[in-house]
C-alpha cells in the first residue's frame, strides 16, 4: 500500500469518526437481573416502603419519611449515590454521625476518613451539590428531588470531594441529604 493510499484511508476514518456518534449505552433501572442497574425511587417512600423495596445505599433511621434515593454505578465509568429524607433535626444529626462513623470504620486509607461533626453550612456547597444532583452526570442518575439549595439554615458533615461522603442537614425543615460520588 502506498503512502498516499494510507493517508487517504486515514482521512476517511477521521471523517467517519467525526460524523457519526457512538451508540449510547442504555442503563437499566431497578432491574434485579442486571448487577450494574441503577436503583432509584420514583416517588417519596415511607420507611416501611423503603425497607420493603430495598437497595437504599445507606441505612435509614426508623422515623425517616419522604425517602428518596438514587444509587448509580457505571463500572469504571463512575458512580453517584444520593439520598434525601425528612426527620427531626436531632435524628438527622445522630444519623449523620452514625453514617460517617460506619464509613470511617471500613475505610483503611487514613486520607479517606472524614471528619465527624457539624460545621456551619456553606451555601455555595449546598447550591453546587443540588445543581449537580439535578443536572449533572448520566440522565438516569439525576435527582430532581435533591433540593439542598433550598436550605436556609443548616449544617455540613463529612467532606466535599471525590469519593468522600457529604451530608447536609436543613435545620429549619429537618431534611437530611447524603451525597457520595466519584
> How many separate helices (H) and strands (E) can be counted in the chain?
4, 7
| For residues 12-39, average pLDDT | 59
Q: pTM of the predicted model, to two decimals?
A: 0.82
Cβ atoms of 116 and 98 closer than 8 Å: no
pLDDT band at 129 (very low <50, low <70, confident <90, very high): very high
The dihedral sign for the CA sequence 113, 62, 142, 155: negative
| β-strand partners of 168 | 156, 177
Ordered by start, the domain boundaries in the chain are: 3-181
Of 2-6, 75-79, 100-104, 160-164, give the lowest mean pLDDT range. Answer: 2-6
Q: Is the pLDDT of residue 92 over 50?
A: yes
Residue 75 in grid coordinates: 463500572
Amino acid at each position: 500500500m502506498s503512502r498516499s493510499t494510507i493517508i487517504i484511508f486515514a482521512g476517511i476514518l477521521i471523517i467517519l469518526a467525526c460524523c457519526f456518534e457512538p451508540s449510547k449505552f442504555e442503563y437499566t433501572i431497578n432491574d434485579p437481573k442486571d448487577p450494574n442497574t441503577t436503583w432509584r425511587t420514583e416517588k417519596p417512600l415511607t420507611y416501611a416502603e423503603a425497607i420493603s423495596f430495598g437497595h437504599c445505599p445507606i441505612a435509614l433511621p426508623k422515623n425517616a419519611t419522604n425517602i428518596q434515593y438514587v444509587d448509580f454505578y457505571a463500572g469504571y465509568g463512575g458512580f453517584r449515590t444520593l439520598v434525601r429524607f425528612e426527620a427531626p433535626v436531632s435524628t438527622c444529626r445522630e444519623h449523620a454521625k452514625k453514617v460517617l462513623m460506619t464509613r470511617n470504620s471500613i475505610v483503611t486509607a487514613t486520607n479517606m476518613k472524614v471528619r465527624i461533626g457539624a460545621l456551619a453550612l456553606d451555601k455555595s456547597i449546598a447550591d453546587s451539590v443540588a445543581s449537580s444532583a439535578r443536572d449533572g452526570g448520566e440522565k438516569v442518575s439525576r435527582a430532581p428531588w435533591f433540593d439542598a439549595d433550598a436550605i436556609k439554615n443548616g449544617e455540613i458533615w463529612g467532606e466535599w470531594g471525590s469519593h468522600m461522603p457529604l451530608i447536609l442537614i436543613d435545620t429549619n425543615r429537618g431534611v437530611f441529604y447524603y451525597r457520595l460520588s466519584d
